[in-house]
Structure 1
Amino acid sequence: MSLASIVIVGAGQAGYQVAASLRQEGHTGRIVLIGDEPGLPYQRPPLSKAYLLGKIADTALLFRPADFFATQNIELIHDQATAIDRINRRVLLASGEALSYDHLVLATGAHNRPLAVPGAQLEGVFGIKTKLHADTLAPLVHAARDVVVVGAGFIGLEFAAVAAALGANVHVLELGDRPMARAVSREMSEVFRKAHEGWGVHFDFRQGLASIESDNGKVCAVITSDGRRLPADLVVFGIGVIANVQIASEAGLHIENGIKVDAHLLTSDPQISALGDVACFPCLHNDQQPIRLESVQNAVDQARCIAARLMGKPAAYEALPWFWTDQGALKLQIAGLSTGYDSSVIVGSPETSQLSVLCFRNDQLIAVESCNRPGDHMAARKILARAPQLTAAQAAAPGFELKAWEVANRP
């Protein structure tokens, strides 16, 4: 099949990387990248951290400057894809234009799970997903006195650290019993809880939000699930995301916790691939169980996998998942997936916030969480990328160092 025209829906990390990787792999045909935001494609992770603090300019967010898209002959279209005509292989746009494709790539991402309480639409209530959100929020957080954060996941805690650093009173409401409960071990949760509390952040665990009160259309307070009233001139929520599957679902593609794809990232239509936050794929590092991962690493590696396949070099997607979050003085880096771990070993010092938590399942290392120990993280990625032989007993031995073990046990 000749791939004269490849159309990519979604100009975030995943979509941009597919376009760039196709050119790197030698594709000479047409590449169309459709994004529904104005401007050039940009990175999202800094939005809740450095960009919000004003430490980096908006130009530093860009993946590449405008001349890259021109010289690489990547057509960037600012529009909304509204439908897929699979029979005639066309993507329909809100403007009325129809784009023909030989292969279609869906990188439609995800949107913030909405805050479903009375008052959620008030001025001063935000989720952070786009540059526009961050641009609107930045001056408000610098002026805020009382901030309520709903959700103690990565985004919520990154913002909480920023708000606390700027001098606000920060109150975090979390339905779970600890910070980042779905992503990290109890040991690492405790390190981050103590650090945030040291910065002045107050946590309310097992606590939800009942409603948001207004004063002339602006947020002035929140009511917790147990009936308490907390003052708030700014409310930021991070309660998860929902995959953007509508266009795929309406086209009849298989949907299962996202757009379902096979090990080669193909959908139920062999002329359509999907990747990134929207794709649910069989994961080698999750016992081949289907999973949807929201990370830069996953988007980039899946994009390269798809580009290589489209250029005649097919391979199953088997990249090791890894993640990171920056919160105040803490940098957490995670290699692997700790789901279902049954034992752990701590290396380093929780007291100084320089530690790694090694997570084991059935005495097999499945994930390593490293706080302010970047060397451990890099060693963990190398260990987990091959069949790991490290046991919990070895890791618990006096004087054990992850980096030294990795070097000594290279194939």
Structure 2
Amino acid sequence: MATPLGMLRGKNAAGEHELHVSQAPPPVCPVDDEAIDLMKKAGVERGDEAGAEAVGANPDVKVLNTRNLDYILKSGLAGGMAGCAAKTVVGPLDRVKILFQTSNPQFARYSTSWFGVARAMQDINRNEGMRGLFKGHSATLLRIFPYAAIKFLAYEQIRAIVIPSRGKETPFRRLISGSLAGITSVFFTYPLEVMRVHLAFETKHGIRASLRRICRQIYNEGRPGVATATATTRATSAPIPPTSSPDGFFTNSPHPPRLVWGLSNFYRGFSPTLLGMLPYAGMSFLTHDTMGDLLRHPILAPYTTIPHSENLTTTTTTTTTTTTTSSSSSQPQSYKRVQLKASAELFSGAVAGLVSQTSSYPLEVIRRRMQVAGTMGDGHKVGIAETARRIFAEKGFRGFWVGLTIGYMKVVPMVATSFFVYERAKWWLGI
């Protein structure tokens, strides 16, 4: 009979055999007890070398392959749904926040008032109707679905690599996983974000806000011999075919052959976005996971979790062929966590939003200003340092925190909704 690894036989001073039971390693987080309980339910003892086989053989345990197409598609779908739901909830606040951050002349007087947000929304509703509060929302949904899908999908995949076992689940690894996921998603969807900001920045009446016109306007900003369309004038130039040369894409050279215009305009403000994404996405996932650990602590679990919602699910990184299935022993099994109640999940997401927004807000303000540099009629490409100097010269250090109050008002429901919908969608989809 095979002896469990945790039980070793030795000889005492009298030469008689005695049984030594090794101590279980200390829990790495409050929910480690939860994992132990699930292993017992699955018939697996802690430290059992045959644990993976025992789990897989148990009919009550559903084995998931995080690398197969089904899991990837479902996690991406759950992420996209979460992003769209979150952005729809805060659409009006998002419009007002962008107007404040970019120092739109028509709304500058509202940015320093305690009730400025409400007054700005009333002004927009009076002049543009309810649709004005959601101007740019179509571009938002067009951008947010792939962005959120890629972000959550990337987080699941990167996390599986960076944190292969519960014993290696540290705050730093969680932070790195979230940051890399955020960078991956923003790289593929950033042009749509620039289009959304331009749409939201427009306040001129009588101008039809369309994605086609905005694309043409952004593309032509800074082009030699072409008048730059601004937020207060209608673009009149004919559509320009995309350039066949990537010269202007990653260059800041002022020489005529390498002027910064065309496709590079869709990546204006990309550098501070990457810098801002490191603390924002990283702190968001780290805080959410940490709050989830605390709310699942045995003392709080009876009040914050849904009983019997763990489903005894284990995640693996198996490689399946037509005849055999192999499982790497270097990828220990992990178990699906008990679902939090709606109030607890929303609270966890709200705290994550507050922490992530505070840590990255100055870089977000710089990014917004860089994105609308062409819209403001300037046309030449400015860097992070120059934009920061302009903001400081205009409003001092307060300029880097303009709109933070509305940022909090937006982030609390947005991030809370995002994580809540994502976790519930994963549960409904069986992953």
TM over 0.5: no
Structure with the larger RCO, 1 or 2 (CA within 8 Å, 6+ apart): 2
Asked which structure has the greater CA Rg, the reply is: 2
Q: More strand by proportion, 1 or 2?
A: 1
